[in-house]
């Protein structure tokens, strides 16, 4: 049953009102991040510096994730926030790592681009029954009633798409990335992800250590990984008297204020970082927005977090 089905009718309006106000508080942080994004885009266009493309795109995806948290909060759904918060957290780590060093900014952004394009190529290769990885996959799936999920409506265009992606990855734009990957392979190292190049972090924990700190990893990433991987179902069982079993209902607001607090925290982390390094002339306005909008939102959320 839904959580609201268990709430006495007289208390339901207060619950709905609280969830709506929590959602509005998160929206305040979204507005802050979106203002930073708009200013950042103007700066990028004015300077015609393509380094800014990747962090701008990351910021769009970040806002998308936090917007999802705001929508869930308005419905009183706490658990589903965890997946979106983990996504937002990883985006913040990536954006900070790419932009934190002016000397590394360009090639870290290009590394992110390269790995993104390579992942797309790998998907296309597996979808194409004519490639070295596609043929054995199709053989393995022979007779599977769902194998058609790999078929594209424009299969005739698939070889062309493969050619475009291979050409892109082989272009001089990514020559330094390819060279570094080959260098690591010669030393029997296989980069797990884009950030591992040039002696960078070997995993998400190390990436967090160089950006937001280990505490953020242990409290955010580890906590939400269980939900993301479907490994926390037994925690739905609640303390109850002997001989009875109580289960947390669907769309429960338990823990919702904390989820909203984390959403706001991540918005502040990304926004403040981008303003400090890319928009220093907007620092006064940023601080004003923090005082007028974010501080009251944080105070409201914090009042609803259990001691």
pLDDT tens-digit readout, 180-211:
999 999 999 989 899 999 999 999 999 999 99
pLDDT of residue 70: 98
Q: How far is CA 12 from CA 5, 16, 197, 222, in A?
A: 9, 6, 53, 33
Looking at the structure, do residues 229 and 273 belong to the same domain, yes or no?
Answer: yes
- Specify if 254 maps to a domain: yes
Q: Could you tell me which of 90, 116, 103, 87 has the C-alpha nearest to residue 51?
A: 103
Model pLDDT, residue 30: 98
Contact 117, 168 (CB under 8 A): yes
Residue 1 scores a pLDDT above 60: no
| pLDDT recorded at residue 10 | 78
CB 242: neighbour CB atoms within 10 A?
Answer: 4
H or E stretch at 191: none
- Specify the number of domains making up the chain: 2
pLDDT beyond 70 at 3:
no
Q: What is the pLDDT of residue 153?
A: 55
Closest CA to 166 of 102, 210, 220, 114: 114
User: Greater confidence, 31 or 245?
Assistant: 31
* Mean pLDDT calculated for residue range 221-248: 83
Do 92 and 215 sit in the same domain of this protein? yes
Q: pLDDT of 27-46, one tens digit each?
A: 999 999 999 999 999 999 99
**215, 306: one domain:** yes
- Predicted confidence at residue 154, as pLDDT, reads 60
Host domain of residue 128 = 106-202
> What is the pLDDT, as a whole number, of residue 245?
77
Let me know: does 22 contact 301? Beta carbons within 8 Å: yes
Do 179 and 227 have their domain in common? Answer: no
- Kindly state whether residues 216 and 92 are assigned to the same domain: yes
Whether residue 60 is contained in a domain is answered as yes
User: Contact, 119 vs 111, CB < 8 A?
Assistant: no
pLDDT of 191: 92
Q: Is there a contact between 251 and 7 (Cβ–Cβ < 8 Å)?
A: no
The conformation of residue 101, written as its DSSP 8-state character, comes to -
Does residue 52 lie within any of the structural domains? yes
Q: What is the mean pLDDT of the chain?
A: 93
| 18 and 38 housed in the same domain | yes
Q: Tell me if 5 is assigned to some domain.
A: no
68 within domain boundaries:
yes
Residue 265 tokens, joined? 């925290």
**Is the C-alpha dihedral spanning 156, 157, 160, 162 positive or negative?**
negative
Q: Are residues 145 and 190 in the same domain?
A: yes
Report DSSP letters for 141-187, one per residue: TTT-TTGGGG--TTGGGHHHHHHHHHHHHTSGGGHHHHHHHHHHHHT
**Do residues 217 and 172 both lie within one domain?**
no
Predicted local confidence at residue 175, as pLDDT: 97
6: pLDDT strictly greater than 70: no
Regarding whether 217 and 193 lie in a shared domain, the answer is no
| Dist. CA 25–CA 263, nearest whole Å | 10
Same domain, 221 and 95: yes
Q: Are residues 126 and 166 in the same domain?
A: yes
188 and 62, same domain (yes or no): no
Give the pLDDT mean for 103-121: 97
Residues 6+ apart with CB under 8 A from 160: none
65 found inside a domain? yes
More reliable by pLDDT, 238 or 66? 66
Give this prediction's pTM. Answer: 0.92
Q: What percent of the chain has pLDDT above 90?
A: 75
User: 32-41, 56-65, 119-128 — which is least confidently predicted?
Assistant: 119-128
């Amino acid at each position: 049953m839904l959580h609201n089905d268990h709430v006495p009718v007289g208390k339901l309006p207060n619950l709905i009102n609280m969830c709506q106000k929590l959602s509005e508080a998160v929206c305040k942080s979204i507005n802050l991040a979106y203002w930073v994004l708009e200013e950042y885009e103007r700066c990028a266009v004015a300077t015609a510096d393509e380094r800014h493309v990747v962090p701008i795109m990351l910021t769009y995806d970040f806002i998308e994730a936090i917007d999802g948290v705001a929508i869930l909060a308005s419905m009183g759904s706490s658990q589903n926030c965890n997946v979106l918060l983990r996504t937002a957290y990883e985006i913040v780590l990536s954006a900070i790592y790419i932009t934190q060093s002016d000397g590394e900014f360009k090639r870290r952004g290009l590394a992110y681009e390269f790995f993104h394009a390579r992942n797309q190529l790998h998907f296309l290769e597996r979808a194409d029954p004519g490639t070295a990885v596609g043929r054995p996959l199709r053989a393995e799936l022979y007779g599977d009633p769902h194998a058609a999920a790999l078929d594209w409506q424009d299969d005739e265009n698939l070889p062309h798409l493969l050619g475009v992606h291979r050409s892109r990855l082989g272009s001089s734009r990514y020559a330094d990335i390819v060279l570094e990957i080959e260098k690591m392979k010669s030393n029997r190292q296989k980069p797990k992800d884009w950030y591992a190049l040039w002696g960078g972090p070997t995993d998400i924990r190390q990436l967090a250590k160089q950006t937001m700190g280990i505490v953020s990893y242990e409290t955010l990433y580890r906590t939400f990984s269980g939900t993301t991987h479907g490994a926390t179902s037994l925690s739905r069982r609640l303390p109850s008297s002997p001989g009875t079993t109580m289960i947390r209902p669907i769309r429960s607001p338990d823990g919702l204020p904390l989820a909203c607090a984390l959403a706001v925290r991540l918005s502040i982390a990304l926004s403040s970082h981008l303003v400090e390094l890319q928009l220093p002339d907007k620092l006064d306005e940023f601080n004003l927005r923090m005082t007028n909008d974010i501080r009251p939102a944080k105070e409201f959320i914090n009042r609803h977090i259990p001691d």
